[in-house]
DNA sequence: ACCTGAACACCGTTCAAGT
DNA sequence: ACCTGAACACCGTTCAAGT
């Protein structure tokens, strides 16, 4: 593993064909290309959606190939005919979650980025265990469409390639890390006092960390501009 | 889970007694409190060290209670007499790793913090799967001693409690997230070309992200100072 | 081509029984 | 008090056999 030279989050968006098989080309080679052919038995969309539901209810650990098969009304072996492995299935679920993120198009670049990262946090938070999976498997599960939008926003803001890579990596790992670690101000059915304190605190903590990150990104952006300010000495040490 | 009101990383350092049992008080209640009593059979230190070795060799997934017992030369049941669960054992291993971090005492506050986070990354990187575990189980595995040092550094730098919480959380989740996701410029036994590119790129990416975070922290620090600058309007919205 | 039934090779955890 | 041997209740994955 880790054989490619460029492992940055931004660069990963260009390698979307690593899932193994892929959703297009699901139609058998000899089938008629005109009508719908998927009506026979299980469709991949059904499997992914059922898996996502189970994860939302019981977390990634609660997602079992047997339980999934039972919900689909088929046998274990039938599920394995459509999904090669649980890992590949979770990659599809992750992609499904990322696709739910709306594109933010109001405000400054940092406001837009922040809004989208908050959306990611909210979606991911509702699927316990997915944040950790996405984090660990970032190489394979990086969101293609979402990443393209973020890269475009950062490019428009004036970031160079190095800056984009660093900002995206920092954002991605902060958000997934925070969500993986039980950050959950949404499922707040506790006592009134606890809700007021915990939920607000955690949401504040999360947003404050995001603000710190984006503020740091803004600093590096200003430093990389041609007309650098006074205190923008660079310390390129340790080669 | 998540019942406490304050889940910040900084606050977690004060709750070190969640492991269940704990290493002191290991001596049976009726034993003589004078001589060493641990010489009978397995010691906890032995178990944790053997577990750490297996994790270093084969990762967290490669650590099996059976394999651990075999290496210790005992039976499965014997191991379970000392460690209540694999989860608790991994918490002890995590604590062991954190204790290896040296305290940085040179340079500015951000240089010291950066140095210690680089150390954490290096130690954690050598134990595959631990970064993810530490991240997911931050509530229970947060490093007590390491956290105290970091909090002290940030306090000396002038951060208030909220700032410390946010900075520590952002740092912790960035580092563990990055390490969990295969960040590994250390095990570089690839071709010359690949090593030059991948290793340098990843290490650079990691450090650049750290710099962004710390630069952002510096900005918030300056904004919270009494003599705030011109552009330091505050937007305490959403209550 | 798709699905069933049954198995394989593991897990973590428990527990009577020994010494 | 500590350890052994054996089991329990699961996993993910595979595969002959059916239709």
Q: Using the CB atom, is residue A64 less than 7 Å from strand D?
A: yes
Instruction: Indicate yes or no: strand D within 7 A of the C-beta of B82.
Output: yes
More confident residue, B144 or B154: B154
* Contact between B170 and A165 using a beta-carbon 8 Å cutoff: no
d(CA A82, CA A77): 9
* Nearest nucleotide from residue B68 CA, by C1' atom: C12
Mean pLDDT of B117-124: 96
Residues in chain B: 239
> From the CA of B41, how many Å to the C1' of D8?
27
Confidence of residue A231 (pLDDT cuts 50, 70, 90): very low
pLDDT of the residue at B11: 66
Residue with CA nearest C1' of nucleotide C15: B77
A100 touches strand D (CB under 7 A): no
Query: What rounded mean pLDDT belongs to chain A?
Result: 81
Q: What is the pTM of this model?
A: 0.84
Q: Using the structure, give the distance in angstroms from the CA atom of B41 to the C1' atom of D9, rounded to a whole number.
A: 30
CB B26 within 8 A of CB B45: no
A-chain residues near B6 (CB < 8 A): 197-198, 201
Q: Residue A202: pLDDT band by 50, 70, 90 thresholds? A: confident
- H-state helical runs in chain B: 9-12, 44-62, 65-72, 76-82, 86-98, 109-125, 130-136, 138-141, 144-157, 161-180, 192-194, 200-224
CB atoms within 10 A of CB B53: 15
B81 vs A190 pLDDT, higher one: B81
Cα separation, A132 vs A183, in Å, equals 12
The CA distance from B48 to the nearest CA of chain A, in Å, is 24
Residue partners of B27: CB distance under 8 A and separation at least 6 = B33, B37, B38
Identify the residue with better confidence: A52 or B195.
A52
* Neighboring chain A residues of B181 at a CB cutoff of 8 Å: 135-139, 173
Of A172, A205, A212, the CB nearest to B217: A212
Residue B20 in this model has a pLDDT that exceeds 60? no
- Across the range B127-131, mean pLDDT stands at 98
Looking at residue A238, its pLDDT comes to 38
On whether any CB of chain B is under 8 Å from the CB of A166, the answer is yes
According to the per-residue pLDDT averaged within each range, which of B4-8, B76-80, B177-181 is highest? B76-80
Instruction: Note whether B131 and B124 are within 8 A (CB).
Output: yes
| More confidently predicted of B51 and B14 | B51
Answer whether residue A59 shows pLDDT above 90. Answer: yes
Give me the residue label for tokens 């900005």.
Answer: B219
Q: How many CB atoms lie within 10 A of CB A206?
A: 24
pLDDT at B191: 65
Question: Does residue A38 register a pLDDT over 50?
Answer: no
> Does A41 contact strand C, using a CB cutoff of 7 Å?
yes
Asked whether residue B77's C-beta has any atom of DNA/RNA strand C within 7 A, the reply is yes
* Local confidence band at A136 (pLDDT 50, 70, 90 cut-offs): very high
User: What is the reported pLDDT for B67?
Assistant: 98
Q: Evaluate whether A177 touches A138 at the Cβ level (below 8 Å).
A: no
- pLDDT tens-digit readout, A72-113: 999 999 999 999 999 999 999 999 999 999 999 999 999 999
Bigger pLDDT: A40 vs B222: B222
B82 closest-nt by C1' vs CA: D2
Could you tell me which of B230, B220, B215, B171 has the C-alpha nearest to residue A224?
B215
pLDDT of residue B195: 58
Chain A: closest CA distance from residue B141 (Å): 11
By C1' distance from the Cα of B81, the closest nucleotide is: D2
pLDDT recorded at residue B183: 77
Q: What is d(CA B66, CA B44) in angstroms, rounded to the nearest whole number?
A: 16
Which of B167, B177, B193 faces A173 most closely, judged by CB atoms?
B177
Question: Which percentage of chain B shows pLDDT scores above 70?
Answer: 72
Q: In this predicted structure, what is the pLDDT of residue B150?
A: 97
Q: With bands split at pLDDT 50, 70 and 90, how would you rate the model's confidence at A236?
A: very low
Contact A165 B208 (CB under 8 A): yes
Query: What's the confidence (pLDDT) of residue B225?
Result: 76
Q: Which residues of B touch A136 (CB under 8 A)?
A: 132, 180-182
B151-192 pLDDT per residue, tens: 999 999 999 999 999 999 999 999 999 999 977 765 555 566
Cβ(A3)–Cβ(B184) under 8 Å? no
> CA A69 – C1' D14 distance (Å)?
16
Q: How far apart are CA B206 and CA B185, in angstroms?
A: 10
B40: confidence class by pLDDT, cuts 50, 70, 90: low
* Cross-chain residue pair A177–B172, CB shorter than 8 Å: yes
């Amino acid at each position: 593993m880790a054989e490619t030279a460029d492992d940055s989050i931004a660069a990963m968006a260009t390698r979307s064909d690593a899932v193994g098989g892929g959703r297009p080309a699901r139609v058998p080679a000899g089938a008629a290309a005109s009508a719908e052919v998927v009506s026979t038995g299980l469709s991949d969309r059904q499997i992914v959606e059922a898996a996502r539901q189970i994860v939302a209810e019981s977390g990634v650990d609660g997602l079992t190939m047997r339980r999934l098969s039972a919900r689909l009304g088929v046998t274990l072996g039938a599920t394995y005919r459509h999904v090669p492995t649980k890992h590949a299935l979770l990659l599809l679920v992750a992609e499904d979650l990322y696709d739910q993120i709306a594109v933010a198009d109001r405000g400054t670049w940092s406001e837009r980025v922040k809004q989208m990262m908050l959306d990611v946090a909210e979606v991911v938070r509702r699927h316990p265990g997915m944040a950790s999976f996405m984090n660990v498997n970032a190489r394979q599960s990086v969101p293609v469409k979402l990443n393209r939008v973020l890269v475009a926003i950062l490019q428009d803001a004036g970031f160079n390639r190095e800056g984009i890579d660093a900002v995206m990596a920092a954002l991605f790992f902060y958000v997934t890390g925070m969500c993986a670690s039980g950050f959950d101000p949404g499922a707040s059915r506790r006592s009134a006092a606890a809700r007021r304190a915990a939920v607000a605190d955690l949401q504040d903590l999360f947003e404050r960390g995001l603000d710190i990150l984006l503020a740091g990104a803004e600093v590096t952006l200003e430093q990389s501009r041609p007309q650098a300010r006074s205190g923008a000495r660079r310390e390129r040490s340790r080669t």
